[in-house]
Amino acid sequence: MQIDLQTIAIKPLRHTFDNIARRIGADKPATRYQEGTLDMQQEANYHYRPTWDPDHLIYDRARTVIKMADWYSFKDPRQFYYGAYTMARAKQQDTAEANFDFVESRGLAANLPEEVRDTVLKLLVPLRHVAWGSNMNNAAVCAYGYGTGFSQPHIYHSMDQLGIAQYLTRVGLLLGGVDVLDEAKTAWMEDDTWQGLRRFVEDSMVLKDPFELFVVQNVVLDGLLYPLVYETIIDDVLSAKGGTSVAMLTQFMTDWFAETKKWADATVKTAAAESDENKAILTKWITEWRDRAAAALVPVARIALGDRTDELVGEVVQQFNARMAKAGVAL
Amino acid sequence: MDMQVAKKKLGLKERYAVMTRGLDWKPSYQKMEDIYPYIAYEGIKIHDWDKWEDPFRLTMDAYWKYQSEKERKLYSVLDAYVQSNGHLNVTDARYLNTVKLFISGISPLEYVAHRGFAHAGRQFPGPGPRVACLMQSLDEIRHAQTQVHAVSNYNKYYNGMHDFHHAHDRVWFLSVPKSFFDDAITAGPFEFMVSIGFSFEYVLTNLLFVPFVSGAAYNGDMGTMTFGFSAQSDEARHMTLGLEVIKFILQQDPANVPIVQRWIDKWTWRGYRVLTLVAMMMDYMLPKRTMSWKEAWEVYFEQNGGALFKDLARYGIKMPDCAAQIALEKDHLSHQAWSTFYNYGAATNFHSWMPDEDEMAWLSAKYPNSFDKHYRPRYEFWREQAAKGNRFYNKTLPMLCQTCQIPLVFTEPGDPTKICYREVDYKEDKYHFCSDHCKKIFEDEPEKYVQAWLPVHQIYQGNCFPEGTDPTVEGFDPLAAVLKYYHLEHGRDNLDFEGSEDQKNFEAWHGQATKNI
Amino acid sequence: MSTVFIALQTNEDTRQIVDAILQDNPHAVANEQPAMVKIDAEGKLVVRRETIEELIGRPYDLQEMQIHMITMSGNLDQTDDEMTLFWNA
């Protein structure tokens, strides 16, 4: 039986769930982001302590030294719940696919100047391992962070980084083949150029504080790496040398960074605005890890930038400092 | 190098290999045991993570493409359902109580699965299982959210769902599913995979979703049917992961076999006890029935699980011993459960009722060996009493099983007239159990299960009253205080379906929709 | 021999997929249920990309099956051309 109900108006008993109404201050219709995020994580009466971490509860505010009165102060400015997230990525994926097709079908990869192709293979392909490290680190923040407002974006970020590692793999396959993946891995494992960065990534993998890990990976390392590689090197330097098609293959990363940094900034800003203690901790973490990351990126940047490396890395660091100052952490 | 030389197109397997395991490396600046600290203590031995076989080889680009397509479809159905007041198309308002049970009992578990798979994915040193686990973690937050979004509309019109997160962490019977998942996520990563990935996803998930979702379809609930089937489409991937994990662990070292067998035994029983809620939903709460609990158990466990364990026999794994007891209980489980909820209907976030004459006839037909003999007389008595104005509400708190946390209401295997009690003395205390299997699970890990947050104990200790409650004052009503702590409104969210606000509203709205008043 | 199965949602897209599966697996039995169709087969079930492509008249990626799949049983092996469900015992 199909009932035509267009004409009847039924007055709802309530407009959203009570926990949402308490948080938004009134019983009014809530967004899917709100209903899919707020209080999703269990908060009370856990039955057992983790056998793998008996000093903590299943979800525990004390896993980080950052203190928040309410962990749901963290809001994702993109308002990503799963549906919004996958639909946004599918759209970007369509563009990326079209770009790869365009480059492939017109033989643009073959027409790349030798020097540009060589630079791309040497610089870009080993970065797939960095993205893989980030996939792992973001999984950790999702697993051990407190509150869905903070933990949720990290599973999206984790899988984005897996996607980026896979796009970089495709760039390698397109410009070289399976062999260049092996060569890049050897460079990642053995060449001096990459050891500072590999050490940085491996050192980040043993961090226990999920908020520190968020800062090290998503704020600091990506905050320097993406502007340096995808904006400065690929969009500017290589494009000027006839490598525009490379920028097409990495458009996903460029767009992704522009989008995700808004979330990273909002998260830093919220934590820093909470208390002077938080701000002091963030300042210390960001400063120390920024200096390490910048030093580790110099030999990598030199692959493409040669003599201009120090100057351009310096500029990227300056921009990063300005970005952090805007987010409330003056370095 | 001439780029025009056609590069060999990689097949799915090779391509997936370079897209996942090719990304991994062996660290040298930090030790493996510092990067993966939780991988050794369970005693599982893995010699070669590369022996892992990836079943579905889904890269992120394909994942986004297919998943977004599912999401677009799902949300357009949900929107249409809301716009057309689809909730009035359900068979009868009693149906909505299954939705209440689902959102407060099951959806929060999807969320724990999300976090648990993020944890397992982070901890496994093998890139194959890591990627599969993280993809599942991402799927599980999808399930939690699509369920909340689908039920959001019901919550606007019906009671009992309004504060389901709060309820899940507190309400007595919800500690059954909650403790199940807390148990899994607090176990080591390998046990987590066996518990959720294998035992729950592979062996038992069909019993949860297929009857529930077909039940929704049968009862006119398009919203639930759509999210259910949409979630199930991810389930095929999860089930395959669960099976591959087991095969992988078993192949790696013979010493793993007894450990895995103990986990399979434990989690099949734990999962089965949680499915008690599904059993009573199928036999009592769906106004239009799809199949009986017993039939579902026979199709999805005895036949399908039978084939699975036959397949695993080559590794030295056998059907869990508890299967024999479950077979004895299948004629009784749903009836004993529904009787319990009918008893304790003053302390639930959904309504209970006695089956009508047609429904009793259906139960007699589906359960010829047990229903008329053991349960019908009880129901008829309760029904008569209710007609006389003595609707029975049990106000005495029950003894709970220390492991599964279900009240001790189940009968002895083979004797449906005698309640089954087991107990264990451990350190200074005595612990109670519903069965030999729950008792054994406790005895294997007493330090874990003594921690259980048992709702009845907590109420007696005064931990389940709103802050500032003084239980010593004259005329103190403990049930009223507990309901306040649960955020449930007496007379609105609980008690019998007959006379409930849900019943009245549904009738009025439905009348308004079908008649010209 | 044990039974493997695959269950798909009943909709416009799956009708021809189900036909293709039944065509390639004469021993399989389709079992219609509310809003879904469950295909049971003794021992082994093979889903072939080419057969589906012939019936739907366009290129098909077997991973698209995931959009419609409800549940399955058996060990799984997937390549570009075939998806196989099987029991070893």
Tens of pLDDT, residue by residue over A16-59, are 999 999 999 999 999 999 999 999 999 999 999 999 999 999 99
pLDDT band for position B328 (50/70/90)? very high
Check CB contact under 8 Å for B137 and A13.
no
Inform me whether the pLDDT recorded for B500 exceeds 90. Answer: yes
Inform me whether the pLDDT recorded for B421 exceeds 70. Answer: yes
- Would you tell me which residues 17-36 of chain A have a C-beta closer than 8 angstroms to some C-beta of chain B? 17-19, 32, 35-36
pLDDT digits (tens, 9 = 90+) for B196-252: 999 988 878 888 877 778 888 889 888 888 888 888 888 888 988 999 999 999 999
Instruction: List the single residue in B34, B85, B170 with the smallest CB-CB distance to A45.
Output: B170
Return the pLDDT at B202: 81
pLDDT band for position A328 (50/70/90)? very high
Which residue in C has a C-alpha nearest to residue B65's C-alpha?
Answer: C64
- Would you tell me which residues 87-146 of chain B have a C-beta closer than 8 angstroms to some C-beta of chain A? 88-89, 108, 111-112, 114-115, 118-119, 121-122, 127, 130-131, 134-135, 137-138, 141-142, 144-146
Check CB contact under 8 Å for A10 and B509.
yes
Residue C36 distance to chain B (closest CA, Å): 8
Check CB contact under 8 Å for B236 and C33.
no
Check CB contact under 8 Å for B138 and A152.
no
pLDDT band for position A1 (50/70/90)? very low
| List of chain A residues whose C-beta atoms are within 8 Å of the C-beta of residue B124 | none
pLDDT digits (tens, 9 = 90+) for C4-36: 999 998 888 899 999 999 999 999 999 988 778
Check CB contact under 8 Å for B232 and C71.
yes
Check CB contact under 8 Å for B111 and A42.
yes
Return the pLDDT at B8: 63
Inform me whether the pLDDT recorded for B3 exceeds 50. Answer: no
- Angle CA C50–C55–C56, to nearest 5: 100
Check CB contact under 8 Å for A15 and B64.
no
Architecture per CATH, B49-514: Orthogonal Bundle (1.10)
Segment A208-216 shows an average pLDDT of 98
| List of chain A residues whose C-beta atoms are within 8 Å of the C-beta of residue B118 | 139-140, 142-143, 155, 158
Instruction: Determine which of A62-76, A231-245, B400-414 has the lowest per-residue pLDDT on average.
Output: A231-245
Return the pLDDT at C62: 92
Check CB contact under 8 Å for B157 and A12.
yes
Check CB contact under 8 Å for B60 and A151.
no
Q: Counting Cβ atoms within 10 Å, is residue A94 exposed (0-12), middle (13-18) or buried (19+)?
A: middle
SS3 string, chain A, reads CCCCCCCCCCCCCCCCCHHHHHHHCCCCCCCHHHHHHCCCCCCCCCCCCCCCCCCCCCCCHHHCCCCCCCHHHCCCCCCCCHHHHHHHHHHHHHHHHHHHHHHHHCCCCCCCCHHHHHHHHHHCCCHHHHHHHHHHHHHHHHHHCCCHHHHHHHHHHHHHHHHHHHHHHHHHHHHCCHHHHHHHHHHHHHCHHHHHHHHHHHHHCCCCCHHHHHHHHHHHHHHHHHHHHHHHHHHHHHHHCCCHHHHHHCHHHHHHHHHHHHHHHHHHHHHHHHCHHHHHHHHHHHHHHHHHHHHHHHHHHHHHHHHHHHHHHHHHHHHHHHHHHHCCCCC
DSSP secondary structure code for residue B198 in this structure: I
Inform me whether the pLDDT recorded for C78 exceeds 60. Answer: yes
Check CB contact under 8 Å for C70 and B236.
yes
C12 touches chain B (CB under 8 A): no
Residue B86 token pair: 């689809």
Instruction: Determine which of A75-79, A276-280, B70-74 has the lowest per-residue pLDDT on average.
Output: B70-74
| List of chain A residues whose C-beta atoms are within 8 Å of the C-beta of residue B34 | 206
Inform me whether the pLDDT recorded for B392 exceeds 90. Answer: yes
Domain boundaries, chain C: 3-86
Instruction: State the average pLDDT for chain A.
Output: 96
Return the pLDDT at A263: 98
pLDDT digits (tens, 9 = 90+) for A141-183: 999 999 999 999 999 999 999 999 999 999 999 999 999 999 9
Inform me whether the pLDDT recorded for B174 exceeds 80. Answer: yes
C3 touches chain B (CB under 8 A): yes
Return the pLDDT at B212: 78
Which residue in B has a C-alpha nearest to residue A137's C-alpha?
Answer: B122
Inform me whether the pLDDT recorded for B115 exceeds 50. Answer: yes
Segment B94-112 shows an average pLDDT of 96
Which residues sit opposite C31 in a β-bridge?
Answer: C38
**What CATH number labels C3-86?**
3.90.56.10
pLDDT digits (tens, 9 = 90+) for A260-291: 999 999 999 999 999 999 999 999 999 999 99
Return the pLDDT at A5: 47
Return the pLDDT at B512: 81
Check CB contact under 8 Å for A8 and B512.
yes
Which residue in A has a C-alpha nearest to residue B73's C-alpha?
Answer: A83
Segment B334-351 shows an average pLDDT of 97
pLDDT band for position B130 (50/70/90)? very high
Instruction: State the average pLDDT for chain B.
Output: 93
Domain boundaries, chain B: 49-514
Task: Please state, in angstroms and rounded to a whole number, the distance separating the CA atoms of residues A124 and A243.
Answer: 13
Segment C31-46 shows an average pLDDT of 90
B210 touches chain C (CB under 8 A): yes
| List of chain A residues whose C-beta atoms are within 8 Å of the C-beta of residue B88 | 3, 5
Return the pLDDT at B7: 57
Inform me whether the pLDDT recorded for B1 exceeds 60. Answer: no
Name the percent of chain B lying above pLDDT 70. Answer: 98
Residue B244 distance to chain C (closest CA, Å): 8
Residue C78 distance to chain B (closest CA, Å): 7
Instruction: Determine which of A3-7, A13-17, A86-90 has the lowest per-residue pLDDT on average.
Output: A3-7
Instruction: List the single residue in B12, B232, B314 with the smallest CB-CB distance to C89.
Output: B314
Check CB contact under 8 Å for A144 and B158.
no
Check CB contact under 8 Å for B166 and A151.
no
- Would you tell me which residues 50-79 of chain C have a C-beta closer than 8 angstroms to some C-beta of chain B? 61, 63-64, 66-79
Neighbours of chain B (3+ CB pairs under 8 A): A, C
Instruction: List the single residue in B66, B239, B313 with the smallest CB-CB distance to C66.
Output: B66
Return the pLDDT at B517: 52
Return the pLDDT at B2: 42
Inform me whether the pLDDT recorded for B354 exceeds 90. Answer: yes
Inform me whether the pLDDT recorded for A8 exceeds 80. Answer: no
Segment B266-271 shows an average pLDDT of 96
Check CB contact under 8 Å for B236 and C73.
no
State the count of interchain CB pairs (< 8 A) between B and C.
94
Measured CA distances, A101 to A246, B191, B252 (Å): 13, 44, 42
Segment B87-114 shows an average pLDDT of 94
Q: What is the CA radius of gyration of chain A?
A: 22
Check CB contact under 8 Å for C73 and B308.
yes
Return the pLDDT at A88: 98
Check CB contact under 8 Å for B144 and A36.
yes
A80-326: CATH, from 2.40.160.40, 3.40.50.300, 1.10.630.10, 1.10.620.20: 1.10.620.20
Under 8 Å CB-to-CB from B457, ≥6 apart: which residues?
B400
Inform me whether the pLDDT recorded for B31 exceeds 80. Answer: yes
Segment B474-503 shows an average pLDDT of 96
Q: For residues C72 and A57, which has the higher predicted lDDT (pLDDT)?
A: A57
When scoring C75, C82, C88 by the number of chain B Cβ atoms within 10 A, the one with the most, hence best to mutate, is C75
Name the percent of chain C lying above pLDDT 90. Answer: 65
Return the pLDDT at B5: 45
Inform me whether the pLDDT recorded for A3 exceeds 80. Answer: no
pTM: 0.95
3 state SS of B330:
coil
Residue whose C-alpha is closest to residue B59's, from B7, B22, B110 = B22
